[in-house]
Amino acid sequence: MRYNLPTQGGLVPLVLLLVGWSMPAAAQLPIRNEPLRDSLVRVYDTRTIYGYGDKYILGGRQLPFRQLKTQFSLGVTNDLYRQGRQDRVVSRLLGITSVAALVGGAVLSKNERAGSIALQVVGIGLNFGSLRFSKKSTELVDRALWLRNKDVLFGSR
């Protein structure tokens, strides 16, 4: 019985395959900078803020939106937060006005058909405006939180 040894052409892919399997194992070796990594994880867990719906979490405790204002220092993050807060107020006012217009349109539908349709169109338009401001507010606050967390983790530059 005679076995054919792999030739040089068949040996190269085999070697590359073995090297490819051993690389991930080598990448999982322990990191020598464990104290630095542990302190970064500790800072991340205790001092960064992340959003969860309309609530925000800091160090394992929940912060309502209005308590975020104490977490931003003066500068870009504070300006982004204030603009996001203003847009959130506008969004809420437009939403409430939209509901009032839609209800008013429903009430008028029995007596005044043209006025009812006009109020319903205005209500829908106000609702779209509310959604736009709500989206913009979320984007601004998310950006402010991202910048704040980056400054907490890596220091301001």
> What pLDDT is stored for residue 26 in this prediction?
47
Q: Which of 15-24, 44-53, 130-139 is predicted most confidently?
A: 130-139
Read off the pLDDT of each residue in 129-139 and give the average, rounded to a whole number: 94
- Residue 137 belongs to what H/E stretch? helix 113-154
Residue with structure tokens 């542990």?
38
- Whole-structure pTM value: 0.67
> What pLDDT is stored for residue 18 in this prediction?
55
The two structure tokens encoding residue 9: 């052409």
> What pLDDT is stored for residue 4 in this prediction?
57
* Mean pLDDT score across all residues of the chain: 79
Q: 19 or 72: whose pLDDT is higher?
A: 72
Q: Is the pLDDT of residue 17 over 70?
A: no
Q: 56 or 2: whose pLDDT is higher?
A: 56
Report the C-alpha dihedral over residues 15, 17, 18, 24, rounded to 10 degrees.
140
Q: 2 or 63: whose pLDDT is higher?
A: 63
Over 76-130, what HEC string results? Answer: HHHHHHHHHHHHHHHHHHHHHHHHHHHHHHHHHCCCCHHHHHHHHHHHHHHHHHH
Tens digit of each residue's pLDDT (9 = 90 or more) over 34-90: 666 667 778 777 788 888 777 888 888 888 888 888 888 878 888 999 999 999 999
